Amino acid sequence: MFVDSNSQSRSKFGKNTVHSDPNLTMNATDDDQLSTRNSSASAVGSGFYDPSRMSCEGSPMMMSPWNQTSSSPFKSQWSELPENIPQNALIGSLVREEGHIYSLAATKDLLYTGSDSKNIRVWKNLKEFSGFKSNSGLVKAIVISGDKIFTGHQDGKIRVWKISPKNQAVHKRAGTLPTLKDIFKSSIKPSNYVEVRRHRTALWIRHSDAISCLSLSEDKTLLYSASWDRTVKVWRISDSKCLESINAHDDAVNSVVASFEGMVFTGSADGTVKVWRKEQHGKVTKHPPMQTLLKQECAVTALAVNTSGSIVYCGSSDGLVNFWEREKQLSHGGVLKGHKLAVLCLEAAGSMVFSGSADKTICVWRRDGTIHTCLSVLTGHTGPVKCLAVEEDREASCKGDQRWVVYSGSLDKSVKVWSVSELAPDSNQMAMMQQQMGSDLDSVPSDGSVSSAARNRRL
């Protein structure tokens, strides 16, 4: 998820009125109509929506009891900000009954939300500002680079949108990855076809299953897309070319994160976390494998790298968060135990780490060296927390209180906004939190002191 250093100050979170439904823009020449295809799920299923997926990506319609309809199909409201914000508090809650929230991206004063309604909603200062819509494919990933927005979809396509320089509310389709021109060009050569499943081939430049995650390179010149088709594809943003297709894993790739020095991390439903490094040989870009950080039975569901690139975090379907330290040649640093169900999303900002889970909670961790303290557990969602985005609250931070604005999207169809402080909670609050969560709140160092129960959960 994209984290922007330009923050939205707390003064913008004032009382807001409900705004009417904006006009959704859609490019009528969407190539969805020009290149239809059948679903080609990865090894664990025969279609996109397979509730048995290890990656916890089952159909939202199958995920009862969170699939609840509302008598108000287009309800949209932000609650009022209290005058004195506690250390970790809910600022507002947005409910727009049009789909489960699968993706978020924040930049400056804009928040983008993607759902299975195929709509991308744009919010400014926590008011509904604009929106645009794709012809097909629920929105599973959003990243922002300058005036371009990249969206990854369930139909295996990456769509590119551009903000109008004349009107920030207008978003126009700028294309699809891969481009139709490249598809036609590649289709001429038989060598460009690869086997994607039994008795079925496809062009190597196209994803043959759902896009699960998008990530930008450090210099913003490359876009990485992870897919359930077990591959990671590398795109050059300047000309929309697919430079490489990496056969990364033996099952669905659930997460990809590009980091410093050309390092790329991937996590998969096959239970592994792998490291790749970008190499440039003339005009050829390659990402050979470096090492495998983790190999376990349960699925890897989320990855994040902290701001300095010194620590890599991995969330799994067993509810644990593992981490590795770059300064120690990516040696295992420990395990964060805070969730009872699968970790579905991770974000790292400053010394903070945020983990969202199928148990409907968000754990707030503060790192001091390799020790992670759980400052609070944010509760309020009534469905799995599927995505997170974080921005620094510069106004509060300038006053000496390092704060973060955290956005969380859920399969309960809502987005919640939280104000989170890096200061430790008072002793009474910490005692109450420990009592509620029991012994599950823990940071276990990788020094052999991990309990046998915790070790079994990691296998």
CA–CA distance, 90 with 8 (Å, rounded to integer): 16
Percent share of the chain, pLDDT over 90: 58
For residue 435, the SS3 value is helix
User: Which of these, 374, 375, 338, lies nearest to 357 by C-alpha position?
Assistant: 338
How far is 267 from 271, CA to CA, in rounded Å? Answer: 7
Minimal CA–CA distance to 388: which of 105, 89, 10?
105
Whether residue 236 is predicted with pLDDT greater than 60 in this model: the reply is yes
Listed residue (268, 260, 287, 284) closest to 276, CA to CA:
287
Q: Once rounded to an integer, what is the mean pLDDT over residues 84-100? A: 74
Share of the chain above pLDDT 70, in %: 72
Mean pLDDT, the chain, rounded, equals 79
Choose the weakest-confidence range: 20-24, 140-144, 350-354, 452-456: 452-456
Question: Is pLDDT at 106 greater than 60 in this prediction?
Answer: yes
Q: What is the DSSP string of 93-146?
A: EEE-TT--EEEEEEETTEEEEEETTSEEEEEETTEEEEEEE-SSS-EEEEEEET
- Reply yes or no on whether the pLDDT at 421 is more than 60: yes
Give 423-439 pLDDT, tens digit per residue.
866 555 555 555 555 54
pLDDT on residue 92: 84
Q: What 3-state class would DSSP assign to 451?
A: coil
> In the structure, what pLDDT confidence band is assigned to residue 318 with cuts at 50, 70 and 90?
very high
- The residue ranking higher by pLDDT, 287 or 33, is 287
Q: 42 is written with which tokens?
A: 């990865």
Please give the Cα distance from 340 to 437 (Å, whole number): 9
Do residues 135 and 32 lie in contact, with contact meaning Cβ atoms separated by under 8 Å? yes
> What three-state secondary structure class fits 61?
helix
**Section 291-299 average pLDDT:** 97
The enclosing H or E element of 396 equals helix 394-398
CA atoms within 13 A on the CB side of 418: 26
Q: The pTM is what? A: 0.79
For residue 29, the tally of other CB atoms under 10 A from its CB is 11
Residue 219 pLDDT > 90: yes
Q: Which of 300, 346, 27 lies closest to 157, judged by CA?
A: 27
Q: What is the DSSP letter of 6?
A: S
Query: Cα–Cα distance between 112 and 174 in angstroms, integer?
Result: 17
Q: Which of 325, 316, 357 is nearest to 457 (CA)?
A: 316
- Sort strands 385-393 and 300-305 into parallel, antiparallel or unpaired: unpaired
Q: How far apart are CA 292 and CA 294, in angstroms?
A: 6
> Residues 333-360: what's their mean pLDDT?
97
pLDDT score of 181: 94
Burial class of residue 445 in the structure, from the number of CB atoms within 10 Å of its CB (0-12 exposed, 13-18 middle, 19+ buried)? middle
Cα dihedral: 44, 46, 48, 49 (round 10): -80
Do 113 and 100 contact (CB within 8 A), yes or no?
Answer: no
CB 67 within 8 A of CB 384: no
**Residue matched to tokens 């990656």:** 55
Amino acid at 372: H
Q: DSSP 3-state assignment of 263? A: strand
pLDDT at 21: 39
Cα atoms in the Cβ-side hemisphere of radius 13 Å centred on 9: 7
What is the pLDDT averaged over residues 58-80?
35
Q: How confident is the model at residue 346 (pLDDT cuts 50, 70, 90)?
A: very high
Quote the tokens at residue 304: 């994040």
Q: Residue 431: what pLDDT?
A: 54
197 has a pLDDT exceeding 60 = yes
pLDDT tens-digit readout, 350-371 = 999 999 999 999 999 999 988 9
Predicted confidence (pLDDT) per residue in 245-284, tens digit: 999 999 999 999 999 899 999 999 999 999 999 999 988 9
Per the CB < 8 A criterion, the answer to whether 403 and 396 are in contact is yes
